[in-house]
C-alpha cells in the first residue's frame, strides 16, 4: 500500500506527519511525501516604483531589468533548494523510525499536481492537512485540502490541524 502525504511546511506539519506515520504503521504502507511549489511565471513584471514582482514578493528596485530577472530566478532556485533539503530531512527522520518514505518536490498547480502524482504512483490514499481558516480566506485563497477532497477518486484523509487553543485566540 502507498499513501501520498501532501505537505506545505506550515505549522501543521508535525500533526500531519504524525498521523501519516500512524497510518503507515497500521497499514504497512509506504509514504510518498509531496510538496508542490507553484510554477514561477514566465513573465516577470518590473515597475520602477515597486520593484520586481512575479512570485508574489517585491524584491526591490533595480535599474537594470535583466539583473532583476536574474535575481528573481536565483531567489526562486534558493527557495526550491531549501525545500528540497527540508523534504529530504523529513523523509530521513521518518525512515529512521521505520517508515519507508519517498520524498517528491514538484512544481506546478498544487491540487492538479497532487492528484496526478497520486494516480501516477497508484497510491491508495491521500493525506492532507486542514488549517481551519475562515470563510473569507476560503473564498479569496481557496483550500488545497478542499480541492483535493472534491476532485480525488481515491480516499482522502483530512487532518484537522487547528487546536482548541487556536480557537480561543480567534474568539478573543
The residue extents of the domains of the chain are: 2-171
pLDDT of residue 59: 47
* pLDDT for residue 53: 47
Specify the pairing of strand 51-53 against strand 101-107.
Answer: unpaired
In CATH terms, 2-171 corresponds, of 3.40.630.10, 3.40.50.620, 3.55.10.10, 3.30.420.40, to 3.40.50.620
Q: Which three cell numbers stand for residue 7?
A: 505537505
Report helix, strand and coil shares of the chain as percent, to nearest 5.
Answer: 45, 20, 30
Q: Which three cell numbers stand for residue 93?
A: 527522520
Supply the pTM of this predicted model.
Answer: 0.75
Is 3 in a helix, a strand, or coil?
strand
The pLDDT, as a whole number, for residue 139 is 44
CA 130 to chain centre: 12
pLDDT per residue of the chain (172 residues) written in tens, 0 to 9: 999 999 998 888 999 999 999 999 999 999 999 999 987 655 555 444 444 444 444 444 444 567 777 777 788 788 889 999 999 999 999 999 999 999 999 999 999 999 999 999 999 999 998 865 555 444 444 588 889 999 999 999 999 876 545 545 544 5
Amino acid at each position: 500500500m502507498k499513501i501520498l502525504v501532501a505537505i506545505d511546511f506550515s505549522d501543521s506539519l508535525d500533526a500531519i506527519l504524525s498521523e501519516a506515520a500512524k497510518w503507515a504503521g497500521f497499514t504497512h504502507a509506504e509514504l510518498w511525501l509531496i510538496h508542490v511549489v507553484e510554477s514561477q511565471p514566465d513573465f516577470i513584471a518590473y515597475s520602477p516604483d515597486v520593484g520586481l514582482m512575479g512570485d508574489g514578493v517585491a524584491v526591490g528596485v533595480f535599474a537594470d531589468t535583466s539583473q532583476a530577472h536574474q535575481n528573481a530566478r536565483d531567489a526562486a532556485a534558493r527557495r526550491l533548494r531549501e525545500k528540497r533539503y527540508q523534504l529530504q530531512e523529513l523523509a530521513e527522520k521518518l525512515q529512521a523510525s521505520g517508515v519507508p518514505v519517498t520524498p517528491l518536490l514538484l512544481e506546478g498547480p498544487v491540487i492538479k499536481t497532487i492528484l496526478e502524482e497520486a494516480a501516477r504512483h497508484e497510491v491508495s490514499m491521500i493525506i492532507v492537512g486542514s488549517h481551519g481558516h475562515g470563510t473569507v480566506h476560503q473564498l479569496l485563497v481557496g483550500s488545497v485540502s478542499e480541492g483535493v477532497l472534491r476532485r480525488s477518486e481515491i480516499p482522502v484523509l483530512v487532518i484537522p490541524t487547528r487546536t482548541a487553543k487556536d480557537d480561543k485566540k480567534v474568539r478573543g
